[in-house]
Amino acid sequence: MLRPLVLLLLEVNLVTAFRDNQALAQQKSTFCPMHCCRPKCSGQSYSLTGNWTFQDCKVRKGAKDLHGYGRTCFEDCTVVHSGEPQNATVMRRSGGGSSPQCELYHRDLPLQELAMDFVEQLEISALKLTRGNYGDLPLMKADKVESFLEKVKEKVLKPEFDQQGYSQEIKSKNVVIIGDLHGQLFNLIGYLLFIKSKLNDKGLSMLDGSSLLFCDPSMQYVFMGDYVDRGERGVELLLLLLAYKARCPEGMALLQGNHETAEMWFPYGFAAELKWKFDEKVRLGDIEDVVELLPYVAVAPENWMAMHGGLSPALERVCSGKGGRFSECLTKDVGYTTVWADPHDGYGWKPSQRGPQFSTFGMDVARAFLESNNLKGIFRGHEQVEKGWVRKKDQDGYFVATVFSAADYVGLFCKKDGRLPGWDKGMFSTPGDGNLGGIVVVDLAEGSHAFQRLQASKTREIAAKFTKAQCEMGFSLLESQSESPPKVTLESFIEDKHKSIKRLGDGNHGNLDSCSLDKDETEALKEKTRQILANAENREFEARKLIDLQGEALIHGENLEICKAMKKDKAMLEVYHELDGTDEKILEFDIEIREHELEEVLE
């Protein structure tokens, strides 16, 4: 028994000695198979908004855990920038050369430098990724995005929220108001370039590192929510706006809309987009933690207020007579009721088609609320309007203006090249809605509101020229074409959706066709629909909007409410037929698409 034990100990010692000799030989060798054996960043500098010098670098132990960067080494260095030296992780790109490319690892990179990286890449490069290879941007790495989101939340949004709550004050002389963008990065770039040219003679300073954004004490941008969903580049658009906010916090008012919540991201596409682009490595909760800190209202004292939806009974109850100081009265629950609100043409409060718990408000309600807060008007988004903006004004100048900036709503940057975003080919298989996009340029000193309308073809052209992005497969982005959806495409899309629609209501959700509307309810709905469509300039557009508004009620509804909503759709369709709508199949398509989105909610 003693001899086998001696042999075993001898074998262990030999193996240990072999490994020690092998490690020593590798250290002495000039060749390192993993390219990360020796530190190379000592004495190197990294310049972004200043010079960063790396000293006393050592190869990071456990660097293999920092995955996702290909042939990249990680070193622990002493970093000298300003003030006391600090310890930080440095990334070194492999690939040879006498001067290695060394830069701070994003988790140790100050927010300002990290945000500048996002600004520079997203402004110029994001639209060039036109074949679905969205992850080719260096910054589109899950851990880098999560690090950025955490820094923006902790260093910008939380301190701002602690100071002002859910209301941000507008103090600058020059203000630009932008409504819903819904993931259309080309529209954002087009608008910012248009604004730059419009205000070029004002002597405003540009944001350092940006070719698009003014960052000046006399300039503020107000974005009224709905940054994602139903768009091709919601991720990139939201990240760019947050990067602007990080770099120029006083100059950016990013408001919450009803699509700044995971409740909407699942049925309307952002959840699928995020999963597709980051392979489930960026969590919805991380983004929701950021956007829930955004304000609901921006206020220019003694002038106007901006919000996503509009007034609600809860807001009227707690915030009337506050002199525009809504930080004193706004809570999350009250703010939530405002993002679903809409104005109507009558008086008082009325039920909303968006759901039984929401209301619409008349001009009399708006005026009373504005007067009590020493304001003259409301800018809001939320509601798609065919010509980009619409304003209702009373005889004394009190107004409610709707601004919808998603020109060619649901449209892609490259309209005709046959590529469809992989996370929802159904949603993007037809052209966009062909509507114009609206923005407002305000001069508070002069008291002027310049409402602007832009076609999506124009914003595409502007964005393409700036970024040098091109569409593939031989189709020209700038080709003159109708903004209206071609009927044959819609009909083909309907056929593709029939199979999934037939599954609607299967499972444990009950029979969604088992309800009925009483006669009075049906006739009241038909009469209301008839009045709206009969007076509409574009009957088809208004009919589709009615269907879409009714569809959002399904997000909040139980089976009975969902069933009744579908019955109401059919009643609206009957009225549309009575009035000789331009194409009943397009309206039927809208209903079926909405039912497909509902299917995802139910499952």
Catalytic residues: 259
Question: Cα–Cα distances in Å, from 575 out to 358, 536, 566?
Answer: 25, 13, 15
CA distance 197 to 57: 47
The residues near 246 (Cβ < 8 Å, ≥ 6 apart) are: 111, 112, 114, 115, 151, 152, 155, 156
Distances (CA, A) of 503 to 183, 200, 565, 603: 29, 55, 18, 11
Residue 130 CA to residue 476 CA, distance in Å, equals 13
Q: What is the dihedral of CA 404, 405, 411, 417, to 10 degrees?
A: 160
Residue with tokens 């107000």: 222
Residue appearing with tokens 């019955």: 567
Instruction: Provide the angle, in degrees to the nearest 10, between the axes of the packed helices 456-467 and 185-198.
Output: 80
Half-sphere exposure at residue 596, Cβ-oriented, CA atoms within 13 angstroms: 21
Measured CA to CA in angstroms, residue 358 lies from 36, 340, 343, 399 at distances of 60, 7, 12, 21
Measured CA to CA in angstroms, residue 157 lies from 145, 188, 239, 277 at distances of: 16, 22, 14, 25
* Cα atoms in the 13 Å half-sphere on the side-chain side of 356: 9
Tokens of 383: 């509601």
Among candidate residues 248, 99, 266, 271, the one with its CA nearest the CA of residue 600: 266
**What residue ranges in 455-569 does DSSP mark as E strands?**
none
Structural contact between residues 258 and 339, judged by C-beta atoms closer than 8 angstroms: yes
With contact defined as beta carbons under 8 Å apart, do 215 and 196 qualify?
no
